[in-house]
Structure 1
């Protein structure tokens, strides 16, 4: 579903014509699956890129945190990567957004943090965080039956977050709170650390985790994330 931003950006780019002031189109998707689009404003004083205009359009529509962004050039140039300034702004304002980039293997969705490793974080951005789930976990999370998740190579922060269920418009986002993030090496995981209470085994859990993260090394560190949905979190405003 998030790849819809690529189609939206490319469609808008094809409509731009020969206006040299507007040569790039961008599209962003919010946690409710809405697509927001805009174009750049070229000017010698440093007009804003299409991605930045799109952030403003989305904010005007009350979109909240964004989960995906894509940009495309006019004249059939297709998908293009964001410039450094756009990457920094997206990282600070929407730190959990996925960004479409062109590769030799075709378009790929990459976490914005992967496009700006070891970068500076603006401390006053106050960005609203997004915690992603596979859609099959919606009922368990919404009911409060599922209150932990194991993640690898993701930047998870303690605090309020929107729980977003990928690739399913029928699963609306939930509000909740990340309570704790505990890091362990894989070989140090135990049933207790994995919160296994239904007879599951560490080996079975790791087999499923490796399917989800095929690039995860055998000696990786993983994060055990404890959370609450808003309905079960009395401290959530």
Structure 2
């Protein structure tokens, strides 16, 4: 595959006696949106967590932008997450005591980013349509608004790869459609998006749909 940013080769993962991923091999192209689908227990979230270095594979290799992330030590893992990865989770993981501005600022503070935080955050909130909510407490926002805050927080550090785990799982159909379209648009801005979803309707917005079953790829609706 030309222009490949992620190359997964023969990745396996077990939890006790359960084989969650079974010698899975997959290449993902830059600046595309790939949806990973499949039934519960098929290995979708485990694959995403391994790509984000939240879990380690038992076997196999993952090359990301030319680096083998399976061999990273703790320092390299932190650098990789800060430099390459943005996360969007179904559960949001926002700090309820903070307003929208402070929630989005957290990655910039972790990175000790010296750029103008206010300008960056205002630009990002404008991109997700929440500029009027900059000082709102997140617990006063709707589910769709909270998920858009999560996306803004994930994108504020300009990651090359955006990992999304069931980002629409708690949302109604209208909000789900808006969130997926927003994620899809990020590929135009130079971000590679990988979204785990149980919804084939949500996945249809992707460039590619990969279906897992028992830790293996059983269907790959390639670049469309």
Q: TM-score, normalised by structure 1?
A: 0.25
Structure number with the bigger relative contact order (C-alpha 8 A, sep ≥ 6) is: 2
Which structure features the higher share of helix residues? Answer: 2
Q: TM-score, normalised by structure 2?
A: 0.26
